[in-house]
A and B are shown apart, each in its own frame.
Chain A
Amino acid sequence: MCIIRKTAHEFSYGFPMHCNGIEYKNMKLREIQDILDASLIIGEAHLDREVHTCGASDLMSDILARLAEDCVFLTGLTTVHAVRTAAISGVGAVVFVRNKIPPEDVIAMAKEEEIPLFTSPYSMFVSCGRLHAKGLTGLNGDR
């Protein structure tokens, strides 16, 4: 049993850590793209950006209520509010699950806010599982 609780901010100084044989590390967006078999919608210039944690929700309040800075944000919601929430929270990238692609105005907003967007063929559950298996933690550092 191994419980590690740290804030996202602390993580940026604490990696890599080890627990049950899994190395926790910051992850580059290009690694996440690979793990999720995701297609890049916009943000090629930011593929080397590192994220510390992962938040997955269709409820924007869940992201706003937690330390979502520099996280990868998985959602099935493709509205402008998903990207506005990401911009306000300082999210590092957004992945839309189940092959969802947002409308043009949402993509334009993400471009303006410099938030890379991806779309993954996997469900929310499988996407989370794939990232978790590779060592990514939740927003509060839980495993």
Chain B
Amino acid sequence: MPDILFEKSFQINKKDFVHAGEASISAKNLLKSLQMDAGMIRRASICAYEGEMNVVMHGGEGHLALAIEKNRIILEISDNGPGIADTEMAMKKGFSTASDKFRELGFGAGMGLPNMKKNADEFELSSRLGEGTRVRMAFFTDAAV
């Protein structure tokens, strides 16, 4: 097992649209302060933000957790929300169950999960109805976008 240099978890609050995205901004600033690879930070930050917005919109209470190794970032976003009924559909570009309120903010186009998969080097989505959803992603230093 590689050595973990740093671990940090951020709270994500259900339906808190005003503060939605703050956890991801904090995570990005933390990664920058640790002088990680710029491309890796950008990809991880985008995934954190997309995931955080998903939790605020669809999930219950959630967490954004970072584990930082020398050449790798592990990002896990989890919530105790209703879960995803059809994960295969949720991964399709353009499929969305977002509310009008969320769309007014410029989200809910059904691009979140596909974009997270595109930007991550490893991507794993697991969800159970009535229990919650977890997305685990890994980012490597040398990976091309």
Contact = CB atoms under 8 A, between A and B. Distances in A.
For B105, B107, B118, B145, which residue has the most chain A Cβ atoms within 10 angstroms? Answer: B105
Contacts of A58: 106
Interface in A86-102: 87-90
B49 interface: yes
A88 to B, nearest CB: 5
Given A77-B106, A84-B25, A88-B25, A65 B111 contact: yes
B105 A88 contact: no
Interface stretch (B7-15, B16-24, B59-67, B73-81): B16-24
A69 B33 CA distance: 19
For A79, A88, A113, which residue has the most chain B Cβ atoms within 10 angstroms? Answer: A88
Contact of A69 (B21, B28, B42, B106): B42
B111 A82 contact: no
Contact of A82 (B20, B28, B50, B106): B106
A77 B103 CA distance: 12
Contacts, number: 63
B135 to A, nearest CB: 15
A32 B13 CA distance: 38
B46 interface: yes
Count class of interface residues, chain A: 20 to 34
A60 interface: yes
B9 to A, nearest CB: 19
B112 interface: yes
B141 interface: no
Contacts of B108: 61
A80 interface: yes
Contact of B106 (A60, A67, A90, A113): A60
Interface in A45-76: 57-62, 64-65, 67, 69, 75
16 contacts: A58-B106, A59-B107, A60-B106, A60-B107, A61-B111, A64-B46, A65-B118, A69-B42, A75-B106, A79-B106, A81-B21, A81-B107, A84-B22, A84-B49, A87-B25, A90-B42
Interface of A: 57-62, 64-65, 67, 69, 75, 77, 79-82, 84-85, 87-90, 113
Interface of B: 18, 20-22, 24-25, 28, 42, 45-46, 48-50, 105-109, 111-112, 115, 118, 145
- Top 8 closest pairs, chain A to chain B, by CB: A60-B106, A61-B111, A84-B21, A61-B109, A88-B49, A65-B115, A88-B45, A81-B105
